[in-house]
Amino acid sequence: MNDTIPALQAALERAEAAIREKEEAVQAAQASALLLQKTFASLNEAVFIVQTGTRIITDVNKAVETLFGYTVEEIVGRSTSCLHLTEELSVRFGREMIAAYREKGFYETTYQMLRKDGTVFDSEHCVTPIHDNNGEIISHVCVVRDITGRKLSEKQLKQLNDNLELRISQAVEELRQKDAVLASQYKLLIDLAPEAIIVYDTNLDRIVDANAKAEQLFGFSREVLLTSSPLLYYTQTQPDGRPVEASFFENCSRVIAGEVLIIERAIRNASGSETVCEARLVRLPSPHSLLIRASFFDITERAKAQKELTKALAGEHRLNEEQRQFMGLVSHELRTPLSIIDGTAQLLVMTACKDKECFKHAERILSSTKRLTSLIDTCLTEERLCTSGWTPTMQSEDIRSLARNAVAQAQAQADTARHQISYSLDDLPDRYTCDSMLIQVMLNNLLDNAVKYSPEGGAINVHGWCTKRGELFFEVADQGVGIAPDQLDKAFDRFYRIWQIPGIAGAGLGLHIVKRVAELHGGTAWCKSQPGLGSTFTVSLFSNQAS
């Protein structure tokens, strides 16, 4: 008996513990059922529980009311067929659902559904089966989401896409048409171009396009040209004197590298005649090929004229040289007889002073020999200055004294009542490197002219100055007859004379010598003048050695 009581107590305790455990489990199950119910009720998607076979709706959540317009009471207990558009569609839905269960265990689809008020909307379905303990499907949980908005956006997006595609294809077509117009315009431009044009593909080593002028120039049809290399039409002897093949490939590489070449090419056409052309070579933009566009202008006439001009220039140069040599020779030869005539005339002046007639003639002879001697001196100076290879003797000179001497000489020869010759030479350096003899000749010529071409008299001034960088200037200004603007440059030409005043002698060499002396000293000479008012002749010297 004593043993039985504790055993009963232990059994009682175990039973109580088991009851507590059960109660706790029931409470937990109730709590999770509540949670599930809450979740079920609060879902935004409509949820249906539907019995298998009968398709009777056994439970729904609140969202069904908003989505379908039925109250919970109205819909629970009814068949799902009221939610489908037709009975046929409803049966097909069921068949597809079973097939999907077999394949993946659930069924997902988009589908059009019917509301209570008869309106239709796009929905997304997810249906999951519920099994009993034996694995048989007893019902389905069907979650329905309204996708009208999404469908609409998809539709709009598709429409947008379609519109875009349409616009793109229209734009492409427009471009294609424009391209075709451009291509035909380009073709027309090339075909009607005044020059012969070919396009050479350097990879294929053949011409790939040629215009009508090219057919004319080369004397072959376009079809023939398009099978050959331009090299075929170049003559072996080219204007640059280089082997034709070497220069051809070298030029191609330069053009392909981006250079634009303008060269002379001699072309032999189908009939064997030769044409000299100016060829302009440029690389054509092309993504897949290395193309060179070559245009040819016929310059046969120009080349011929150039050749003739060079020949004529050489001839003139030779004639000039011969003339200069002849003048030099004659001047030399004349010097001796002239000095005899001069000496005899002087003797006559002294001895025949009583015979007035004889004295007059002797004086005439004397003045003529003086003029002739001065002319010969000028010719000889010019000959020396223009002889190639001749160089001036450059030395440091007292340039101020040189200029003063020239002025003094001019003053001595001039009629001081008519010509007042002055100078301002203070701005000259003490010494300057130059050829003193030439500077003297240059200033003499300028002063002689100033006197000679001021027949009415007037002031003559010589001004000299030097810049900091050693450029030295002489300016000789007079108030004489002046020179017309269109004659100013020519006045410095050799043998050029402006026949404005009859009776003034000259050879047209003085200013030529002036300019030559200036040039030999690194400078030049020019003149400003106003007809009737006077002239100012300026020379610049730049021996660069102010000393």
String of b and e for 12-33 (b: at least 16 CB within 10 Å)?
A: eeeeeeeeeeeeeeeeeeeeee
C-alpha span between 183 and 205 (Å, rounded): 24
Which is closer to ligand ADP, CB of 344 or CB of 536? 536
114: nearest Cα among 76, 69, 145: 69
491 part of the interface to ligand ADP, by CB under 6 A: yes
Minimum Å distance from CB 507 to ligand ADP? 5
| Cβ at position 274, least distance to ligand ADP in Å | 48
Burial (CB count within 10 angstroms: exposed 0-12, middle 13-18, buried 19+), residue 286: exposed
In terms of Cβ atoms closer than 10 Å to its own Cβ (0-12, 13-18, 19+), residue 311 is exposed
**One residue of 238, 251, 535, 543 binding ligand ADP per CB under 6 A:** 535
- Residue closer to ligand ADP by CB (options 139, 449) is 449
Query: How many other CB atoms are found less than 10 A from the CB of residue 507?
Result: 16
Q: How far is the CB of 345 from ligand ADP (least distance, A)?
A: 24
Region of 183-191, 333-341, 342-350, 502-510 interacting with ligand ADP (CB under 6 A): 502-510
Pairwise CA distance, residues 497 & 72, whole Å = 129
The residue number whose beta carbon is nearest to ligand ADP equals 506
509 near ligand ADP, rule: CB under 6 A? yes
Q: DSSP secondary structure string, 239-279?
A: TT-SBHHHHHHHHHHHHHTT--EEEEEEEE-TTS-EEEEEE
Q: Using CB under 6 A, which residues numbered 375 to 414 contact ligand ADP?
A: none
Backbone phi, then psi, for 468, in 5-degree steps? -65, -30
For the CB of residue 198, give the shortest distance to ligand ADP in the complex, in Å: 56
DSSP of 42-62: H-SSEEEEEETTT-BEEEE-T
**CA–CA separation, 320 vs 316, rounded Å?**
6
Is residue 511 a contact point for ligand ADP (CB under 6 A)? yes
Q: Is 546 exposed, middle or buried (0-12, 13-18, 19+ CB in 10 A)?
A: buried
Using the Cα atoms of residue 425, residue 427, residue 433 and residue 439 in order, give the sign of their dihedral: negative
Contact (Cβ atoms closer than 8 angstroms) between residue 447 and residue 476: yes
Size of the site for ligand ADP (CB under 6 A): 21
| Residue ranges in 450-479 that form contacts with ligand ADP under rule CB under 6 A | 450, 453, 478
Smallest CA-to-CA distance from 384 within 490, 520, 507, 497 is with 520
Residue with smaller CB distance to ligand ADP, 212 or 488: 488
508 binds ligand ADP (CB under 6 A): yes
Q: Which is nearer to ligand ADP, 78 or 490 (CB)?
A: 490
Which residue's CB is nearer to ligand ADP, number 282 or number 498? 498
CB of 538 to ligand ADP, least distance (A): 12
- Answer yes or no whether residue 483 interacts with ligand ADP by CB under 6 A: yes
- Looking at beta carbons only, is 215 or 478 nearer to ligand ADP? 478
Which tokens go with 72?
């919970």
Nearest distance, CB of residue 424 and ligand ADP, angstroms: 18
Provide, rounded to whole angstroms, the least separation between the CB of residue 421 and ligand ADP: 13
Do 424 and 404 contact (CB within 8 A), yes or no?
no
Nearer Cβ to ligand ADP, position 83 or 483? 483
Element (H, E) at 537: strand 534-541
Cβ 543 to ligand ADP, closest distance in Å?
Answer: 24
Using rule CB under 6 A, residue 497 touches ligand ADP: yes
> Given the rule CB under 6 A, which of 8-16, 61-69, 400-408, 497-505 is the region that contacts ligand ADP?
497-505
What is the nearest approach in angstroms of ligand ADP to the Cβ of residue 419?
Answer: 12
DSSP strand pairing (274-284 vs 261-268): antiparallel
Which residues, numbered 414-453, are part of the site for ligand ADP (CB under 6 A)? 449-450, 453
Closer to ligand ADP by Cβ: residue 247 or 409: 409
Minimum CB separation from ligand ADP for residue 428, in Å? 22
The type of residue at 397 is: E
At its nearest, how many Å lie between ligand ADP and the CB of residue 520? 17
- Whichever of 197 and 483 has its CB closer to ligand ADP, that residue is 483
Please state the closest distance from residue 325 (CB atom) to ligand ADP, in A: 21
Asked whether position 480 contacts ligand ADP by CB under 6 A, the answer is: yes
The 8-class DSSP code of residue 82 comes to G
Beta bridge partners of 464: 474
Q: Which residues bind ligand ADP (CB under 6 A)?
A: 449-450, 453, 478, 480-483, 491, 496-498, 500, 506-512, 535
